[in-house]
Amino acid sequence: MCIVYFKFSFTLFVFLRMKSCHTTCPYWHLSNYNFVTREKMQEGIDKGEFIENAEFSGNMYGTSKSSIEDVQAQNLICILDVDIQGVKNIKKTDLNPIYISIQPPSMEILEKRLRDRQTETEESLQKRLEAARIDMELSKEPGVFDMVIINDDLEEAYEKLKSVLIEEIEKVQDAEK
């Protein structure tokens, strides 16, 4: 999991679950995703309406510029969960986020966690593991991430992420004074 945190000016520390991601995957239509047809998604990509997009298991995912602008307009914190493709695409924009990768301690532990959830077919599990392996390998490249958090213990990983975000929030607030 890659988290991209955008440092926007804000006066309130509020996290909202907003529909910021678009997808062509029909299973996500009931969640915090904007379900769109493949044609509509491709049209938006072609018009440059997305700051990042990727395809996984035959489905398209992406974050529209307008969803980021909506968050900015409300003086809220924008946190995106994107893959390494998304990180590389966002780095090409004029945005200035911090990049945090949250990773399992090992591929073996990731595989166990995914199998224990019992939500994947063997084929989708193997695709997910291969994508994670590639992402973890690419995350070692210098300059890709500002921080890597190893999710060995959920509470510890959460506290580390929270402290990093609070520190960034305080920097922005101090700069506004």
Domain at 48, CATH number? 3.40.50.300
Domains contained in the chain, number:
1
What is the pLDDT at residue 153?
92
Strand pairing class (59-64; 78-82): unpaired
19: pLDDT strictly greater than 90? no
pLDDT band at 21 (very low <50, low <70, confident <90, very high): low
- Where is pLDDT greater, at 12 or 88? 88
Q: What is the pLDDT of residues 90-128, one digit of tens each?
A: 888 888 788 888 899 999 999 999 999 998 899 989 988
- Where is pLDDT greater, at 49 or 58? 49
Strand pairing class (21-23; 33-35): parallel
**CA–CA gap between residue 121 and residue 125 (Å, rounded):** 6
**CA–CA gap between residue 54 and residue 84 (Å, rounded):** 9
Beta bridge partner(s), residue 3: 81, 100
Q: Which domain holds residue 51?
A: 2-176
**CA–CA gap between residue 165 and residue 76 (Å, rounded):** 13
72: pLDDT strictly greater than 50? yes
Across the chain, what does the average pLDDT equal? 79
